[in-house]
Structure 1
């Protein structure tokens, strides 16, 4: 039975799963959800994932949620094109990168994305406070609902924004250090860590923030190599939504001075 993936075109977590599926040559059937239209809150999807989050993988009735759990599941169940280091220490390093995403980095890129760009999309779709509240009330996770109540009205003025920039500034420094020592994030072998992080660095680039790694050529080289993989073309490029890309580019250019101001303050404080 073919794997089924409930996903969204521009979701970084969905991109991560599609990358692994494509790299390992696994056939899959997709169910695309429009997150801005609220497809994830429909009863039919909430029966599959009560949290109303993508991606979700369904394998012969087994429902697997959380993107890192999904890619580990794919590595466990599908032979060929291994994406876990053989060496135990490097395998632990790879898992450390994955845990770091779940421990906060994912929410931080969501904060950057929404504060800079996506809030404008939602505010246009829901132009008054009552409509926004109805949208937020559909979100089953109180933490996620609170996030929306903060970033939608405040944008780059939100404290979450400066915290997110701080966290990604540290991440880029750590990535640069790792990639100066080895070819890939978890050693000399391409791994789940690399596929997990490329959507996040892509997102920063789409938000016109590539100046962030201008003085870190190891990251630029790694990103170019990742984008050169055939899986990148079929898992990310073919799914890119031009409306989203234009939205992120336009508002990203507008927000660049504020981003640079916050980053300069971080350097001064350090």
Structure 2
């Protein structure tokens, strides 16, 4: 088997999905940490791997794989280990429905809020000329726009309101789903849980008005199930920023 190399940032959102899939399958991989806050993903060394400058990316068997959900599916199909897709056709449909819902509808809203309250403030203190030069190196024009908005705090009131509306609806829908079965879309842990978890792992801290023991007991039980998995503990131990430190804070919140 050719070596698997994963280029990733913190074990959350998009980067966390293939990290967790590889850990769950027991696949050894070479980890290349790409510091998004230092714009490592737009430097020549990484653009030689992925010219679009997006993370994560994975190399295996002569292939360069991008797009986090597609990488997860590749990992599940290509390698031995526990199957992260259910065998029942209806369950597989629900798993794929939830992954599409997250990737195309709910995830971008979580991302906008995260960029506004975390990413932007983290980088805007740097030298403006340095930031300008870094943004100009971004290959995709829509990503240049997003970075400028995050750094300058330019997400509009209507954009933020729509993102908060979607997050509220998404949390309510997830709470309802997890009242039907222990995991997202299936009675077994699957790619849908990995996908959803990587954007909802901090709900008790980031959205206390919408999620918590009283408001969303089903989500809280599910978060505890996922947080206590060995693969999750190992993956989050690879984090380097304050995001990774949330693991202990959230476990304390869940177990309180």
Q: Name the TM-score, length of structure 2 as normaliser.
A: 0.87
Judged with a 3 Å threshold, the aligned counterparts in structure 2 of structure 1 residues 11 and 142 are, in CA distance, closer, same or farther, namely farther
Distance in 1 between the 2:81 and 2:221 partners? 26
Aligned residue number for residue 138 of structure 1: 137
Residue aligned with 1:31, SS: strand
| Secondary structure, aligned partner of 1:125 | coil
Question: Helix, strand or coil for the counterpart of 2:201?
Answer: helix
C-alpha contact 2:120 2:153 (8 A) present in aligned 1: no
Structure 2 matches for 1:46-61, cutoff 5 A?
46-61=47-62
After superposition, the Cα gap between the structure-2 partners of 1:220 and 1:10, relative to the gap in structure 1 and judged at 3 Å, is: same
**Which residues of 2 match residues 110-189 of structure 1 at below 5 A?**
110-126=111-127, 128=128, 130-154=129-153, 158-189=157-188
Does 2:226 correspond to 1:226?
yes
CA contact 1:52–1:139 (8 Å) conserved in 2: yes
Stretches of structure 2 that go unaligned for 5 or more consecutive residues are 247-256
Task: Give the C-alpha shift of residue 156 in structure 1.
Answer: 6.9
Task: Verify the 8 A CA contact 1:114 1:155 in the aligned structure 2.
Answer: no
Contact map agreement 1:116 1:155 (CA 8 A) in 2: no
Shift of 1:7: 0.7
The size of the alignment, in residue pairs, is: 243
CA offset at residue 136 of structure 1? 2.1
Q: Is the 8 A contact 1:179 1:222 kept in 2?
A: yes
What residue is the counterpart of 2:207 in the other structure? 209
Shift of 1:165: 1.1
Distance 1:155 1:205, change over 3 A: farther
CA RMSD in angstroms, aligned pairs only: 2.0
Superposed CA offset, 1:7-34 (max 9, x none): 1124421111111111111111111111
Alpha-carbon shift at residue 152 of structure 1 (Å): 2.5
Comparing both structures, which one devotes a greater share of its residues to helix?
1
CA separation of 1:80 and 1:244: change in aligned 2, threshold 3 A: closer
Moved over 4 A (4+): 155-158, 244-247
Q: Secondary structure at the match of 1:189?
A: coil
SS in 2 for 1:58: strand
Q: Which residue pairs with 1:261 in the alignment?
A: none
Aligned-partner Cα distance in 2 for 1:48–1:138: 15
In structure 2, distance between residues paired with 1:92 and 1:141: 32
Name 1:19's counterpart in structure 2.
Answer: 20
Q: CA distance change for structure 1 residues 155 and 223 in 2, over 3 Å: closer, same or farther?
A: farther
Cα shift at 1:186 = 1.0
Offset, 1:240: 3.0
Note closer, same or farther for the CA distance 1:115–1:91 as it changes in structure 2 (3 Å cut).
same
Per-residue deviation at 1:135?
2.6
SS in 2 for 1:5: strand
Unaligned runs of 5+ in 1: 248-270
What are the superposed Cα offsets for residues 164-188 of structure 1, whole Å, 9 maximum, x if unpaired?
Answer: 1111111111111111011111121
CA 15–213 in structure 1, closer or farther in 2 if over 3 Å, else same:
same
- Decide whether the 8 Å contact of 2:4 with 2:59 is kept in 1: yes
